[in-house]
Amino acid sequence: MSRVLPPGLPHDEELDAPRPAGAPAPHPPARADHRAPARPEARTAAAARARRRHLIRRSLIIAALSLLALVFAYPFVWLVSASFKPRGEVFDNRLIPETFTWDNYVQVWQAAPLALWLWNTLLVTVLAATTVTLSSAMVAWGFAYFRFRGRGALFGVVLATMMLPGAVTMIPTFLIWNALGFVGTLVPLWAQNIFGSAFYVFLLRQFMLGLPREFFEAARVDGASNWDLFWRIALPLSKPALAVTFVFEVQAVWTDLMRALIYLRDSADYTLPRGLKSLVDAFGFGGEWHWELIVTASVIATVPMIIVFFVAQRQIIHGISAGGVKG
Amino acid sequence: MTAPPVVAASAAPPVDRERGRRRARRRNLGSALLFLSPWLVGFAVFTAWPLIYSVYLSLTDYDVINDPNFVGADNYVELFSDPKVALALGNTLFFTIVQVPLYVLVSLLLALLLNRAGRSAGVFRTVFFLPKMTPPVAVGILFLLLFNGQNGLFNTVLGWFGIDGPSWTTDAAWVKPGLIIMSLWTVGASVIILLAALQAVPDELYDSAKLDGAGFWRQSFSITVPMISPALFFIVVVNTIAGLQTFDEAYTAFFGAGNTTYSNDAALFYVIYLFQQAFEFLHMGYASAMAWVLFALIMVVTAIQILVSRRVVYYEGDDRT
């Protein structure tokens, strides 16, 4: 933050408190910039000018951001607001409904097995995120702690699978689940996660490599087994990275449409994205034009994700910035 | 370097020590494999076998019910003369080529502003990230509503400026531009990656630039952008790969059961056509061939990007610039 200010200028916090004329500059002369004019009066005048310029610039940036934030927030607010509008008014652009009604929520609950879809989604999401976190952590630990021949090459294979487009393995994977008799159930939506996922193995291995090796050597001397090292030391120490993995997978599974389209047959088994799509087909394209119900169901499918975001905001942001810089 | 402890060395005869070490290494490998076993099994069953089988399927006719019927390279030959494949490929390339630069530009602009916003950045960051948490199906629905030709919000706003907006959801020429604009709404994750990169740029660089009288834009383009070019490159590559596999939003808005109103070639992206071939028409062999063509395309595009990046991306401590 201080980067915006030329060196030697007061920071934001100090800008608020007016300094009496003639009072000593907040920074001791030793830290003053070599470019500062010799005479103190000229220096304060220049500083005041720079401060004013800085304030104007900061206000302009905040104004621009506010405008953009409005653009980004609008679709959300509109979506939520539309879910409270009666059928005929859904398409108006008002943010505050002219006629406020809870009716859509009652109706969509009756028109579609939303509670069931919500339950299915929750079940799949929790199972998928828990298993992928635990198994990816195990594999990551295998790569981070043990030294064995071929480790680098094997880890290279893990990284290479990250580049593979899903479309290439999609059809044979479907055939596997089909042969096992699981098509039409929720199993294919989460069970593959038991084997971990390359991206999370990468993420967690990076984190585990940073854990101090002395901890493990000390525990080893005390007679801890490999499993103890992993389960009782590495896992608890990796909590931040595990949280990131869990939240990422929650987001990915909660919003996944394609797998649900491929594997789910019966509307009772639908997850929310699949159910939402079926509502679009039935009430939108099906000629019934009940968009207020589709909008309301969208709100119901989105709100849990928003809650997850607010609860785990810090983890999500840290996880993303860590992943990006390393990539 | 300290001399090896003489006592220990002479206590264990060299043969025994060698054998012991070998045994320890074997034990080590054994425990490692135990920890790696979930991934090893998953890789064999859900990656290696599918890859091999997918190559085989791409050389067959297969409808799930009857056994695969070997047809050689027929699928690939047919694929290159299928006008719908050409259409889907064209749509996808158009979407990606236009969307990725815009996406990067918008996320860069937002990140630059956020980086100068001081304490209020946190609030704005949250607002910009939220769309990323919206299920893509819901984004597709929002697209249909906000870009509605008659009274959608987007055209209403354009109307304030005296612009008569097109019918984004039904006019073939405007479907993709509309989807691209809508996709810019979900730049949140890229913004955060860029913001993290921006905050890692050392202050001294800006201080000396200011000494030379460089203004905001000059500083942005001479210091900021080169310094964060690795993060920019990462975003370009990841979004290109994602763009070439666009599915959810367009499928929600334009395809699916009962959709006769909007069914629209303008939104037929490559993975949508692949999905239809595989799971609606049950042309599993043909779809497998399509998947391999997509794979090749992604490889080529990524390789080109890496080659270009060698000239453009600046890594600290590297003289190549």
> pLDDT tens, B231-273?
999 999 999 999 999 999 999 999 987 665 445 789 999 999 9
Number of Cβ within a 10 Å radius of residue A152? 8
Amino acid, single-letter form, for residue A255: T
Contacts of B274 in chain A (CB under 8 A): 167
Q: Are B245 and A166 within 8 A, CB to CB? A: yes
Contacts of B114 in chain A (CB under 8 A): 65
CA proximity to A190, closest of A114, A131, A107: A131
Mean pLDDT of chain B: 88
Each residue's pLDDT tens digit in chain A (327 positions)? Answer: 333 333 333 333 333 334 444 444 444 444 444 454 556 666 788 888 888 888 888 899 999 999 999 999 999 999 999 999 998 888 777 788 888 889 999 999 999 999 999 999 999 999 999 999 999 999 999 999 999 888 999 999 999 998 899 999 999 999 999 999 999 999 999 999 999 999 999 999 999 999 999 989 999 999 999 999 999 999 999 999 999 999 999 999 999 999 999 999 999 999 999 999 999 998 888 777 888 999 999 999 999 999 999 999 888 888 888 765 543
Instruction: Compute φ and ψ for A36, nearest 5 degrees.
Output: -65, 135
Candidates B66, B129, B133, B306: best to mutate against A (most CBs of A within 10 A) is: B133
Chain A contact present for B271, CB below 8 A? yes
Q: How confident is the model at residue B1 (pLDDT cuts 50, 70, 90)?
A: very low
Going by the DSSP 8-state scheme, the letter that residue B3 receives in this structure is: P
Q: Are B133 and A176 within 8 A, CB to CB? A: no
Alpha carbon B187 to its chain centroid, in Å, reads 12
Distance between B87 CA and the closest CA of chain A, angstroms: 18
The two three-digit tokens of residue A128, written as one number: 């998928």
Distance between A78 CA and the closest CA of chain B, angstroms: 9
Rounded to a whole number of angstroms, the distance between the first and last alpha carbons of chain B is 40
Number of Cβ within a 10 Å radius of residue B208? 11
Exposed/middle/buried for residue B111 (C-beta within 10 Å: 0-12, 13-18, 19+): buried
Contacts of A166 in chain B (CB under 8 A): 245
Residues sharing a CB contact under 8 Å with residue B311, sequence separation 6 or more, in sequence order: none
Of A6, A195, A306, the CB nearest to B41: A195
Rounded (10°) angle between helices A313-326 and B188-199: 70
In this prediction the ipTM stands at: 0.87
What are the residues facing B70 on neighbouring strands? B60
The two three-digit tokens of residue B18, written as one number: 């060698």
Rg (CA), chain A: 28
CA proximity to A255, closest of A105, A124, A147, A96: A124
- The angle formed by the CA atoms of residues B168, B164 and B157, to the nearest 5 degrees, is 80
Q: Is the pLDDT of residue B8 over 50?
A: no
Q: Cα(A261)–Cα(A276) distance, rounded to whole angstroms?
A: 11
B191 and B105 Cβ atoms separated by less than 8 Å = no
Q: How many CB pairs under 8 A join A and B?
A: 294
Contacts of A287 in chain B (CB under 8 A): 258, 261
Q: Are B50 and A173 within 8 A, CB to CB? A: yes
Instruction: Compute φ and ψ for B7, nearest 5 degrees.
Output: -60, -50
Chain A, nearest residue to B132 by Cα: A251
Q: Cα(B289)–Cα(B278) distance, rounded to whole angstroms?
A: 11
CA atoms in the 13 A half-sphere facing the CB of A90: 21
Chain A, nearest residue to B55 by Cα: A168
Q: Cα(A309)–Cα(B302) distance, rounded to whole angstroms?
A: 32
* Predicted pLDDT at B258: 64
What are the residues facing B61 on neighbouring strands? B69
3-class DSSP assignment, residue B65: coil
pLDDT in tens, B108-134: 999 999 998 888 888 999 999 999 999
The two three-digit tokens of residue A178, written as one number: 């089909």
B182 and B222 Cβ atoms separated by less than 8 Å = no
3-class DSSP assignment, residue B144: helix
